[in-house]
Amino acid sequence: MRRSWWGWGWEEHALTPQQRDKLGAAVTGRLGAEVVARRPPALDAVPLPPPRFSPPPALADLCADDAYTRASHTYGKSYRDVVRAFSGDLSPAPSFVAFPANEAEVAALLDWCASAGAPAVPFGGGSSVVGGVELEGAVCIDLTRMDRVLEVDRASRAARIEAGALGPVLEDQLRAEGYTLRHYPQSFEFSTLGGWLATRSGGHYATNQTHIDDFVESMRVVTPAGVVESRRLPGSGAGPSPDRLFLGSEGILGVITEAWMRVQDRPVFKASAAVHFRTFDAGATAARAIAQAALFPANCRLLDPGEALIAAGVDDGSALLVLGFESADHPVDAWMARAVELCQEAGGALPEGVRISTDAGAGARDGAAGEWRNSFLRAPYTRDALVAMSVIVETFETATTWDRFPALHASVVDTVNQALKDVCGGGWITCRFTHVYPDGPAPYFSVFAPGRPGSELAMWAEIKAAASEALLAAGGTITHHHAVGRDHRPWYDRQRPDLFAGALRAAKRTFDPAGVLNPGVLIDP
């Protein structure tokens, strides 16, 4: 199979013509205006800018500059990225793409980029949704040939893994050892360990170990000034953590080449339930109670009624809490039973009951929970089909404390609804919790609205700005797990303390004296 050069995932997994027709009819009915699907241009009909740089002869064998390679490494996979690629705009294409197979080749590439003044963008699976891998004429350094599990320490239950390993490649190798990393972002199939580390990725699991940070034992990073390797330890109080400096650095300080990661036995005991609530607020009360009871469910995703209808087929106006527990060591019935009690105290009902499994490969396959899971995995392909219909479809996420959540939710919904009315003449916004903590949730909002062909990006920008302003004004973060990139820079600059920005610039001058690594992300060049 081949990756789509303009959109998400595998070309063969895109919506079929029949699925697109069904989706178009549903969208037409919901928006009240007919939508017409267009086709993307053929790649050979799309102009590519001339390269600004050519690889030196000593590195030429690592590099490619054919049309498909340059096109498929031009953007990430945000709405803005897909719209531009779909319309045939590949003006930010890299000059060429390098595919190092080892750390020495990464170092040689960075040495050459620094001497030539060529900007370099580290690239994992290319699934960024915040403009994190886009830079006109840059040298794109694709790490996916560095994809091995190098070593497994069974006594400490840890593994040394190369940073270019895509999610399925990494898990296939760990499965042979009886382990799992247990980090499954929605982009799992098309994102890498290095990308997760560089962006502080959030996984599928809702509590306990939610961010990739929680799994890191040590890291190795190649910078233009040399190699940085942190000591492998279960914990340390020896000054500021070197790992914390590179986690979330988004490729501006160095190229993460490998890491020791805490792995886990593969879960066997599982329990899942779909809990219905009359209101979103009642569901939030239950989610907070579960988070503060230290039950640590693997899944605790609360969908508002609109999200429950679209993603899980719940058509009675209920909010839906998708709840799940798992363990490799012991049955989880008691934990699920207590969580159900907390849900019922908040007014929750379980029309489908609780599903218990001891099958290591089982998941939530049936009912509302199964419908949500399937929708979750297919969502990016559906988004691409909506782009072809000029529908504005965007997501934005945040985190806030429980005391601030009601006001944040109300403000964001009101602000975005007004923006949709002003910009698009209508549309709708939904909300779900992706993660819950004892002190607050991570709300994730989705927006759908009719767009005007040719004006989608301008319309998107107005809605994005309105939503981002509302998040910051209500005390939320500009991003919980999507990273900063270039799209969130204006709001990240305001959220980040000024003195910290100065410290980050000083770190960049130390690690990247020529300023060639992903300029424009997190701080100004």
In order, the DSSP letters of 26-46 are HHHHHHTS------PPPGGGS
Whether 354 and 479 map to the same domain: the answer is: yes
CATH code at position 336:
3.40.462.40
Per-residue pLDDT of the chain (525 residues; tens, 9 = 90+): 899 999 999 999 999 999 998 998 988 888 877 788 899 999 999 999 999 999 999 999 999 999 999 999 999 999 999 999 999 999 999 999 999 999 999 999 999 999 999 999 999 999 999 999 999 999 999 999 999 999 999 999 999 999 999 999 999 999 999 999 999 999 999 999 999 999 999 998 999 889 999 999 999 999 999 999 999 999 999 999 999 999 999 999 999 999 999 999 999 999 999 999 999 999 999 999 999 999 999 999 999 999 999 888 899 999 999 999 999 999 999 999 999 999 999 999 999 999 998 876 555 556 766 776 777 778 899 999 999 999 999 999 999 999 999 999 999 999 999 999 999 999 999 999 999 999 999 999 999 999 999 999 999 999 999 999 999 999 999 999 999 999 999 999 999 999 999 999 999 999 999 999 999 999 997
CATH code at position 147:
3.30.465.10
Residue 1, SS3? Answer: coil
Position 496 in a domain: no
Whether 290 and 248 map to the same domain: the answer is: no
Whether 83 and 204 map to the same domain: the answer is: yes
Whether 446 and 466 map to the same domain: the answer is: yes
Q: Which of 210, 243, 263 is the endpoint of a domain?
A: 263
Residue 366 has what pLDDT? 62
Question: How far is residue 262 CA from its own chain's centroid?
Answer: 21
Whether 215 and 347 map to the same domain: the answer is: no
What is the total count of domains within the chain? Answer: 2
Whether 331 and 404 map to the same domain: the answer is: yes
Residue 35 has what pLDDT? 82
Residue 30 has what pLDDT? 82
Pick left, alpha or beta for residue 133 (phi over 0 → left; psi -120 to 50 → alpha; otherwise beta).
alpha
Phi, psi of 64 (to 5 degrees): -140, 145
Whether 223 and 300 map to the same domain: the answer is: no
Buried b (16+ CB within 10 A) or exposed e, 108-125: bbbebbbebebbbbbbbb
Beginning with the edge strand found earlier in the chain, give each strand of the sheet holding 158-162 in spatial order: 149-153, 158-162, 255-262, 216-223, 226-229
Range of the domain at 434: 267-487
Residue 361 has what pLDDT? 57
Residue 269 has what pLDDT? 96
Q: Structure pTM?
A: 0.95
Distance CA 71, CA 249 (A): 25
Pick left, alpha or beta for residue 185 (phi over 0 → left; psi -120 to 50 → alpha; otherwise beta).
beta
Distance CA 74, CA 389 (A): 22
Q: Which of 263, 297, 314 is the endpoint of a domain?
A: 263
Pick left, alpha or beta for residue 415 (phi over 0 → left; psi -120 to 50 → alpha; otherwise beta).
alpha
Cα distance between the two ends of the chain: 38
**Do the bridges between strand 139-142 and strand 120-123 make them parallel or antiparallel, or are there none, so unpaired?**
parallel
Single out the residue of 374, 450, 482 nearest to residue 77, CA to CA: 482
Position 503 in a domain: no
Q: Which amino acid is at 263?
A: V
Residue 100 has what pLDDT? 98
Instruction: Report the length, in residues, of the chain.
Output: 525
Whether 316 and 355 map to the same domain: the answer is: yes
Residue 232 has what pLDDT? 97
Buried b (16+ CB within 10 A) or exposed e, 421-446: eebbeebbbbbbbbbbbeebbbbbbb
